[in-house]
Amino acid sequence: MEFDTLPRHVAIIMDGNGRWARQRRRPRIFGHRRGARAVRSVVEECGRLGIECLTLYSFSADNWKRPRDEVSGLMSLYSHYLRVERAELHARNVRVLHLGRRDGLPEAVLNALDKTIELTRQNTGLKLCLALNYGARHELVDAIRTLAGRVQRGELEVDRIDARTVSEALYTAGLPDPDLVIRTASEQRISDFLLWQISYAEFFASDVLWPDFGVAHLHEAIRTFASRERRFGDVAPAGGLSQGPATTDPLPPVD
């Protein structure tokens, strides 16, 4: 299927793995394992469509509060996924990036992540951003610390700090802001996800639990995105849908 309008950057809050497993009277980790299959199909389709960036909210900074056995199982799943999928991601010209803090992640996960990032560093296709140990508030705190350090060292004047300066200090520096945010499992919350970057994103809530989310559901979200009038704070142009941020937008997408 082809689309007249594609988002440059799709961000997905993958929700419902636990409920999917519970419906089948299986442990929660079983749902997470099945959710990895949905990741594979969505990554492949985004690459095929020519979408520039795909960000997956894989593990939030608050998810450490979950039961220890579930967290341990998730960490094992991440390192396994990165090892098993690394060659295929590279073959598909996907570049893997990490959004989040490294502190707290097990050594096995960091090793698998670093090897995958290094192998795919020069790839020019889909940018797959894994939000792992990620929290938007943590990201903003880290950005503030970075900017404060630059000011303290005399590299940056306080009066020169603007929206673009902040954007360039975030984990997503150099990436376009998300155009489309998808959340599965009927949830309507943002859950501390890319709070700065999604200021003008379109939101699509799917009733489908993440392990059942497939290409057809992704297409539905993209069709809905393409049908919406995006004004970025401006009035609608006489010719139809707005194609980008208005000139008054304080933070156009970063190229």
Residue 21 lies in a domain: yes
Residue 236 lies in a domain: no
pLDDT higher than 70, residue 244: no
Distance CA 86, CA 37 (A): 15
Residue 250 lies in a domain: no
- Mean pLDDT for 29-40 is 96
144 falls in which pLDDT band (50, 70, 90)? very high
Active-site annotation holder among 4, 63, 114, 255: 63
SS3 string of the chain?
CCCCCCCCEEEEECCCHHHHHHHCCCCHHHHHHHHHHHHHHHHHHHHHHCCCEEEEEEEECCHHHCCHHHHHHHHHHHHHHHHHHHHHHHHCCCEEEEECCCCCCCHHHHHHHHHHHHHCCCCCCCEEEEEEEECHHHHHHHHHHHHHHHHHCCCCCHHHCCHHHHHHCCCCCCCCCCCEEEECCCCCCCCCCCCCCCCCCEEEECCCCHHHCCHHHHHHHHHHHHHCCCCCCCCCCCCCCCCCCCCCCCCCCCC
At 159-188, the pLDDT tens digits run: 999 999 999 999 999 999 999 999 999 999
CB 10 within 8 A of CB 182: yes
Task: Compute how many other C-beta atoms are within 10 angstroms of the C-beta atom of residue 243.
Answer: 10
17 is catalytic: no
At 57-111, the pLDDT tens digits run: 999 999 999 999 999 999 999 999 999 999 999 999 999 999 999 999 999 999 9
Looking at the structure of the chain, the number of domains it has is 1
Residue 235 lies in a domain: no
Residue 243 lies in a domain: no
Residue 253 lies in a domain: no
Active-site annotation holder among 4, 15, 103, 207: 15
pLDDT higher than 80, residue 235: no
Residue 30 lies in a domain: yes
Structural domain boundaries, residue 82: 9-227
4 is catalytic: no
CB 134 within 8 A of CB 62: no
CATH number at residue 54: 3.40.1180.10
Residue with tokens 């698998």: 112
237 falls in which pLDDT band (50, 70, 90)? low
Question: What is the pTM assigned to this prediction?
Answer: 0.90
Residue 54 lies in a domain: yes
pLDDT higher than 80, residue 231: no
